[in-house]
Amino acid sequence: MVIIVSTNYLKHDILEVNRQPEHAYFFSYRDKETALTYDRSRSSGFTLLNGAWKFHYGRHPNDVDEDFFRNDFNDSAWESLHVPSHWEMKGYGKPHYTNVQYPFPVDPPHIPSENPTGAYRKIFYLSEVKERSVIRFEGVDNAFDLWLNGEYIGYSTGSRVAAEFDVSDLLIKGHNTLAVKVYKWSAQSYLEDQDMWWLSGIFRDVYILSKEPAGIKDFFVKTTFEGEYKDAELNLSLDVTEETVGKDVKIELLDKKHNKVFEETLSIDQETVSFSKKVEAPEKWSAEDPTLYHLLFTIEDNGSVLEIVPQRAGFRQVELKDGLIKVNGKRILFKGVNRHEFHPEHGRAVPIDVMEQDLKLMKQHNINAIRTSHYPSDPRFYDLCDEYGFYVIDETDLETHGFTLINDLDQLSDNKDWEKNYIDRIRRMVERDKNHPAVIIWSLGNESGFGQNHLAMAEWARGRDETRLLHYEGETIRILDESNYEPKTLNQSADFFSTMYTDVGRLEKLGKQTHLDQPHVLCEFAHAMGNGPGGFKEYTDLFNKYPRLQGGFVWEWIDHGIKAVNEDGDLFYAYGGDFGEHPHDGNFVIDGLIFPDRTPSPALLDYKRAIQPVKAELEGNQLTITNRYDFIDLSKLRASWVLKQNGRILDQGEMDVSGIKAQKSETFDLPLDMSAVTKESQLLIECHTKNTERWSDSGHLVAWHQFMIGSGVTYPTRHTTDEPITVMEDGDLLLLKNGQFELIFDTFEGKIRTYRVNGDLLIEEGPANNFWRAMTDNDSIGHDDFNTRPNKEAWKQYGVDHFQERIEAVSVDLDGDDFVIKVKSTLAPPVLSWGFRSTVTYTVRPNGVITIDVKGDKFGNGPLTLPKIGLKMAISKWLDQVTWYGNGPGESYPDIQFATRKDVWTLKSDELGTPYIMPQENGNRSDVDWVSFTHSDGTGFLVKGNDLNFSLRECSTETLDEAKHIYELVKEDTMELNVDYKLNGIGSSSCGPGVLDKYKLANESYQYHISLEPYTR
C-alpha cells in the first residue's frame, strides 16, 4: 500500500510505523582480524548513505510535491544538501534558540501549521543485496516518513535515538531510490524542549546493513565481581534470528593485547542464548584506567564462519553501597561536564574527529565524567568514552521545561496518555548503549517536572538493567525541604539525590546528612557563561571533604555560537536573536568552558586546577603529596619542584611519587633552607605525564601547587637621574619638566593631561577615579530561583556607571625637591545623594617618578557593593610589551584565579584580553606588585603598588560594555589602562548563586597608593 500523505506527526500517540525494535549498536565482519579493527566501513553489508542528497525545503508539509517519493520523480530542479546536516545551518530557514520557551503556543499535542518540512531524495547503488537488510537513521530531527523505491516504509519520532527499518523486501541490486520527508515540528516536539538551538533535518549517519539470514540481532554484556572485587562473572545474553537456531556460536574473550582469555562454543537451540563465565582477576575498567577486553561472537555453520561480531568489554561493577556510588567497590568523585553535541558550522552534526577532540581536551583538563545533556549522543561517542575513560550519565531525550511558563510543569509527565512516549525514549537509549562500560548511570531526562511517567521509566529501566544506577533531578527538588534542605524521603525514580546550582552553604548542609542512604551529585553547577564562573575551589573543597557529595557536572562544555559573517565581512559567532527569531533567549546559549572553536576559556583552566588529582602541602621544608585518584597510583607522573625569585630559578629538583597509591599520601624532605630565603619567592610543585598518552604528549602538566616563601618584592631596575623640576603655568595647565620628563597637569579637570619621558609620549590621558567595569553575564543576570538580583541592576539603579566628579580644590606645593599636587573632589552620580569625598595626591619627583595616593570617604546610602575601585588612564599604543609580577599568565579575578600563579610574566598588549563571544569585562591580572608597559627597545614606564589589579585594552570600557559582538569593539587611538585597587568577584548568578561574601567588594571608604615610574631596561 502506498501512503502519499501522512499526518502521523500530528498525533502524540503514534511514535512509529514499522520501526524495528532498538538493539545494541554493533557491526558484523567476516574475519577476526578485520573485526578487531572495529572499522564499520569494513564490516559486512555496510553501505553508508552520507553525502550529497537532493533536497527541497517546504514551508509546511503540503509544500512538498505529493509524488516526490516516486522513482520517476524529476528532482533536477532541487538543490543538493549534505547529509548529515541541519538544513538551517545550510541556509534553509533559520536557527532558533530558546532556553525554556517553546517557540510555538503550548497546547499539546498541537503544533504550528507553518511547519518547515524537508524532502530528501537519494539514489544509491548496491552491487550486492542479502536477504536480511535494514536501513538505519542515527538521528533525524524531529519526525520523518520514509519511502524506498516508491513504497512506503514507515515513520519515526525521537530525534536523538536511532530508527531502523526492515527493507529486505524492497532493497534491490543496482540503483535504489530513497525518499525521506522530515518535519521540523511534531507532537513529540513537546518532549524535546532542551536549552539549545532548534535545528532540523537528517543530522546523523544513514546507512544500509545487508546480512545473511542467520546472525545476531542483539546482545547484552554484564560484568559483576565477587565480594573482594578480584574475580569477575561475565554474563551474556545473545538474541539471534530464527535462521540461526541449529548453528553454533563461538564466544571468545581477548585481553587488551588480543591474547585469548577463554574460548567456548555453544550450540544454538533457541533464539536467546545465555552464557556465564568466571574470569579470574581481570584488569578492571575505570575512568582512570580504562582497560578494555574484546568479546568476539562468531556464528558458525559446520565450521563455516557466517559472521563475527566484536564488542569492547570492560570489567567494572557499579553499585549503590554504604550510601555511596561505587565503581569496583570504591567511592568515585565525578569531575564532570555537561556536554551538548555542538559544532559552530554543523550544529549537532558533529564529526567524529571533533568528538575525539572534545575527549582529549577533557582528559587534558582532568575531567573524568560526562552527562550527555540532554539526550543520547552519537553512538560512536560512547566507543570513544570507553577507550579514553569517562564515567557517562546517559540522558534520555526528554525535556518539557517550557511548561513552567504556564505553571504546569508536570502536565505531560503526570499524564498516563504520554507514558508510552516516555518509556519509548528511555528504552531505545538503554537498548542502544547497554554494552558500554563507560555508561554507569541512566538519566530519565531533564527539567520535565515529576510524575507517574518517570516512575514508569524507572521501573522499566530497573527491570531491563540492574547493573546501573538511575538519575533524575526533577524528583530530588520535590523532596528537599526548602528551609533546611533536609529531604522528606528518599528518591524513588533515582538512586541518588541530584540538584542544580546549589550554593556552597546549602551544599555543605547536604554533605553533613550522613544518615541518608543516597549520596548527592550536582548534575549541573558552575554555570560557565561569559567571564566566570567564580568559586570552583569552594565546590571542590566540599566534594573532597564530605564523602556523600560525589562531585558534579559543570554547565556546560561548549559555547553554542554559530559561525557567521556580518555585512562588512567580519567573522563572529551568532547567538539567540541574531537570526531575527522570536522568541529567543539571547546569549544564554553561550555558556561553555570552551569557545565555539574549542579554544579553552579561563574557566576551564580554573576547573582543571580545582579538580586536579594531586594535592601538595608544605610545612617547613617538608612537602606532603596526596594522590586524589580513586584507583591508580602516581607512577605515570613525574613530579618536580622549582624555587623562583623575581622570575629567576634559584634551585630545583625532582621527587619520586610513583609509589603513592590512590587516596594515600607521602612526605618528602626538600633540600631547602626556607629561613635563608630573604625575598619573596615561589616554590612551584608540578606533576607532568612521563609518557605519551592517547590524550596528550609526554610532559603534559596534570597538577601544580605554588607556595609563597619569604617577603619583600624585588622591583625592576630603573635608569634615571635626579634633575631639578621647572614649573610653568598656562591657564588651567601646569607644566612640570626637567631634562628627562614632561608632565602636563590640568588643574580644572584635576588630572594629568600627558606624561612624556625623553620626549616619548607615554600617558595620553592621566589617571581618573573609576568604579565601573563592563558588565559580565554574571553581573547582568539574576534568578529568583537562586535569590540573586543582578549586580548590574543595583549598580545602575545607584548610578555607579554615571559618576560625575566635582573638583573642590587643587593645590600645588613644593616639598623639598618634590612637587605635590593635591586634588579634592566629590565623586557622585546624578539624581542621587551618595558618593565619595575624594583626595588624590600626586607627588612628582625629580627622577620622573609620580606617586599617587588615593583616598575616598564614603557618604550617603549607595549600593552594598561596587564593581571596582581604581584608576583609568589612556596610554600610547607603541607601549605594546607588558611585563608584570603577579598572577598569570591568564586573566584572574577574586573568585576565579585558581589557575594562575605568581611570577614574572610577559605578553604583548593584544594578548592580554579574552575574546568572550558576548563582549564583557575581561583580561584582568590580580595580585600585581609591579607592571611595566614598554616598547621593544625597553622604553616605557612602570606601575608599582601592592596586590593591585590591571587590565589593558584597545577599546574603551564604554564600548566594551555596549557591544553585543566582538566586531563592534571599535579600537581607539590609545590603549585604556585600568589600575585597580580592588574588584568585585564574578560569581555565577547568570544561572546560580552570586558572588560569595568573601569575594564581594563592599561599598566602603578606601585608601591606596601606586606609583608611575619611567623605565628603561
**Can you say whether residue 657 is alpha, beta or left, with left for phi > 0 and alpha for psi between -120 and 50 degrees?**
alpha
Of 22, 447, 686, 1013, the active-site residue reads 447
**pLDDT for 92-113, tens place per residue?**
999 999 999 999 999 999 999 9
Task: Let me know if 350 is exposed, middle or buried by CB neighbors in 10 A (0-12, 13-18, 19+).
Answer: buried
Taking residues 488-493, what's their average pLDDT? 94
Of 524, 686, 764, 921, the active-site residue reads 524
Query: Where exactly does CATH 2.70.98.10 map onto the chain?
Result: 726-1015
| 447 among known catalytic residues | yes
Predicted confidence band of residue 2 (pLDDT cuts 50, 70, 90): very low
Q: Quick check: helix, strand or coil at residue 77?
A: coil
**pLDDT for 858-867, tens place per residue?**
999 999 999 9
**pLDDT for 869-888, tens place per residue?**
999 999 999 999 999 999 99
Question: Residue 886 and residue 876: Cα distance in Å, rounded?
Answer: 23
The pLDDT, as a whole number, for residue 486 is 85
CA distances from 859 to 232, 471, 553, 771, 1004 (A): 73, 53, 44, 15, 9
Q: Quick check: helix, strand or coil at residue 65?
A: coil
Reference 655, options 677, 674, 672; nearest CA is: 672
Question: Residue 70 and residue 64: Cα distance in Å, rounded?
Answer: 13
62 Cα distance to chain centroid:
41
Taking residues 125-150, what's their average pLDDT? 97
The pLDDT, as a whole number, for residue 485 is 82
Question: Residue 353 and residue 598: Cα distance in Å, rounded?
Answer: 13
In sequence order, the 6+-apart residues with CB closer than 8 A to the CB of 408 are none
Do 331 and 550 meet the contact criterion of CB atoms below 8 Å apart?
A: yes
Reference 862, options 749, 1004, 994, 1008; nearest CA is: 1004
- What's the chain's average pLDDT? 97
CA distances from 246 to 218, 266, 302 (A): 18, 10, 10
The pLDDT, as a whole number, for residue 370 is 99
The pLDDT, as a whole number, for residue 6 is 82
Taking residues 295-317, what's their average pLDDT? 97
Task: Indicate if the pLDDT at residue 720 is higher than 90.
Answer: no
The pLDDT, as a whole number, for residue 786 is 65
Task: Indicate if the pLDDT at residue 658 is higher than 90.
Answer: yes
**pLDDT for 578-596, tens place per residue?**
999 999 999 999 999 999 9
Helices (H) then strands (E): counts for the chain: 12, 58
Task: Indicate if the pLDDT at residue 4 is higher than 90.
Answer: no
CA distances from 35 to 26, 45, 239, 596 (A): 11, 13, 19, 36
Reference 277, options 225, 235, 248, 312; nearest CA is: 235
Pick the CATH number of 8-211 from 3.40.50.150, 2.60.120.260, 3.90.550.10, 3.40.920.10: 2.60.120.260
Taking residues 126-153, what's their average pLDDT? 97
The pLDDT, as a whole number, for residue 676 is 85
Do 327 and 391 meet the contact criterion of CB atoms below 8 Å apart?
A: yes
Report, in this order, helix, strand and coil percent for the chain, each rounded to 5.
15, 40, 45
Taking residues 253-277, what's their average pLDDT? 97
Task: Indicate if the pLDDT at residue 32 is higher than 80.
Answer: yes
The pLDDT, as a whole number, for residue 962 is 98
% pLDDT > 90, the chain = 95
The pLDDT, as a whole number, for residue 630 is 98
**pLDDT for 317-355, tens place per residue?**
999 999 999 999 999 999 999 999 999 999 999 999 999
% pLDDT > 70, the chain = 99
Task: Indicate if the pLDDT at residue 985 is higher than 80.
Answer: yes
Do 984 and 866 meet the contact criterion of CB atoms below 8 Å apart?
A: yes
Provide the grid cell at 509. Answer: 548542609
The pLDDT, as a whole number, for residue 483 is 76
Query: Where exactly does CATH 2.60.120.260 map onto the chain?
Result: 8-211
List own/partner pairs for 35-40 with CB under 8 A and 24 or more apart: 35/296, 35/308, 35/309, 35/310, 36/254, 36/258, 36/294, 36/296, 36/310, 38/310, 38/312, 38/383
The H or E element that residue 853 is part of is strand 850-859
Taking residues 948-970, what's their average pLDDT? 98
Task: Indicate if the pLDDT at residue 825 is higher than 70.
Answer: yes
Predicted confidence band of residue 246 (pLDDT cuts 50, 70, 90): very high
Task: Indicate if the pLDDT at residue 166 is higher than 60.
Answer: yes
- In the CATH hierarchy, which top-level class contains the domain 726-1015? mainly beta
The pLDDT, as a whole number, for residue 785 is 66
602-610 and 536-545 helices cross at what angle (nearest 10)? 20
In sequence order, the 6+-apart residues with CB closer than 8 A to the CB of 23 are 217, 218, 239, 431, 432
260-267, strands of its sheet edge to edge: 260-267, 248-254, 293-301, 304-313
The pLDDT, as a whole number, for residue 784 is 67
Query: Where exactly does CATH 2.60.40.10 map onto the chain?
Result: 612-709
**pLDDT for 703-715, tens place per residue?**
999 999 999 999 9
Reference 573, options 597, 605, 547; nearest CA is: 597
**pLDDT for 543-567, tens place per residue?**
999 999 999 999 999 999 999 999 9
Query: Where exactly does CATH 3.20.20.80 map onto the chain?
Result: 318-608
Do 502 and 522 meet the contact criterion of CB atoms below 8 Å apart?
A: yes
622-627, strands of its sheet edge to edge: 614-619, 622-627, 665-669
The pLDDT, as a whole number, for residue 195 is 98
CA distances from 384 to 23, 340, 378, 380 (A): 19, 16, 11, 7
Pick the CATH number of 612-709 from 3.40.640.10, 3.40.50.300, 3.40.50.10260, 2.60.40.10: 2.60.40.10
Taking residues 214-224, what's their average pLDDT? 98
The H or E element that residue 538 is part of is helix 536-545
Do 799 and 833 meet the contact criterion of CB atoms below 8 Å apart?
A: no
DSSP character string of 143-194: EEEEEETTEEEEEEE-TTS-EEEE-TTT--SEEEEEEEEEES--GGGGGB--
Task: Let me know if 353 is exposed, middle or buried by CB neighbors in 10 A (0-12, 13-18, 19+).
Answer: exposed
Type of residue found at 481: D
The pLDDT, as a whole number, for residue 678 is 87
Do 895 and 995 meet the contact criterion of CB atoms below 8 Å apart?
A: yes
Question: Residue 687 and residue 694: Cα distance in Å, rounded?
Answer: 18
Provide the grid cell at 896. Answer: 576565579
Predicted confidence band of residue 458 (pLDDT cuts 50, 70, 90): very high
Task: Indicate if the pLDDT at residue 213 is higher than 90.
Answer: yes
Question: Residue 440 and residue 421: Cα distance in Å, rounded?
Answer: 24
Do 791 and 867 meet the contact criterion of CB atoms below 8 Å apart?
A: yes
Task: Indicate if the pLDDT at residue 3 is higher than 80.
Answer: no
Assigned superfamily of 318-608: Glycosidases (3.20.20.80)
| 962 among known catalytic residues | no
Please list, residue by residue across 53-71, b when 16 or more beta carbons sit within 10 angstroms of its beta carbon and e when fewer do.
Answer: bbbbbbeebeebeeebbbe
Do 208 and 135 meet the contact criterion of CB atoms below 8 Å apart?
A: yes
**pLDDT for 42-100, tens place per residue?**
999 999 999 999 999 999 999 999 999 999 999 999 999 999 999 999 999 999 999 99
The pLDDT, as a whole number, for residue 721 is 79
pTM of the model: 0.96
